[in-house]
Amino acid sequence: MKVTAQPSADTLTLLLDGELDASSAIVLDTELAKPDILNYRKVLVDCAKLSYISSAGLGVFISHLQRFQDANVKLVFFNMQEKVFNVFEILGLDALMTIVPSAAEAEAA
């Protein structure tokens, strides 16, 4: 699992590469827990190369969800593989989080 952060003016794009399981969830959690992440208007998560997400991986996003909402930072997922989307959907997260098909839509969101 590799997490690459690409900051721009008011947007932070996180590229996830690999499987997000209990061990790699820590890496992502460190990234999302940084205080200055709340200075951005939007945090875009590029899931093109995310091949698997475990409940521990979902737990990381869930645990930061409220914090992002409170700080008015928009969390947008895009380029999600069907298999991964399925996991979000089953848990009901698709109704709670913004998941869009492409980068362009993510920019617009």
Partner 1 sequence: MPLTALSWLLLLLSALSHSGAGSWLGVWPQWATQLAQGAFVLGVFLLYRYHRSPLQGQAFVRLLKQLLLGPGLLALVCIGLHLFERLLEPDAGAGKASILFTSVYTVNLALFVIFLARTNYAWRALVLFRSTPRLQREWTIFEVLLGATLLFRLVGVNPPNYLTYPLMAGLGLFGVYLSGHQKWVAYLSQREKWRAVAFQAGLLFSLLVFVQYFRVTQVDPQLIAPQPQYAFLLLTAFFSAFYALMGLLVTFFNMPIADVIEQRRNEILRLQRLTQIIQRGQTTTEVYRILLESAVQTAQADAAWLDLDPVHAGIDAADATQYYNFTQAQADAMRPRLQGHELPEGEHITNDLHTRAGFEGPAQLYRSLLQLPLRGLHFNYGMLYLLKTEPHTFDREDLSILQTFTSQAVLSIENLELVRTSLANQRTQEELKIASQVQDSLIPKNLPTDNWFDISSHSLAAKEVGGDFYDFLHLQGRRLAVIIGDVSGKGVTAAFHMAQMKGIFHSLMQENPLAKNERDKFPVPSKFMAQANTALTHCLEKSSFITSSLYIIDYEQGGFVFARAGHCHTLYYHALREEVFYFESQGLGLGIIRNESYEKHIKNQFYDYSPGDVMVIYTDGIVEARGGDGTEEYGEDRLKLRLEESYFQEAEEIKNFILDDLNSFTHGHPIHDDQTLLVIKFKSAQPLPLA
Residues within the interface to partner 1 (CB under 8 A): 22, 29, 51-52, 55-56, 58-60, 62-63, 65-66, 83, 90-93, 95-96
- Between residues 15 and 52, which has the closer beta carbon with respect to partner 1? 52
| Closest distance of CB 92 from partner 1, Å | 3
Tokens 């794009």 sit on residue: 13
What is the helix (H) or strand (E) element at residue 54, kind and residue range? none
Kindly give, in sequence order, each residue whose CB lies less than 8 Å from that of residue 87, ignoring residues fewer than 6 positions away. Answer: 53, 58
- Between residues 12 and 60, which has the closer beta carbon with respect to partner 1? 60
- Between residues 29 and 107, which has the closer beta carbon with respect to partner 1? 29
- Between residues 91 and 104, which has the closer beta carbon with respect to partner 1? 91
d(CA 23, CA 80): 21
| Closest distance of CB 14 from partner 1, Å | 17
CA distance readout (Å), 12 to 33, 43, 95, 109: 14, 5, 22, 14
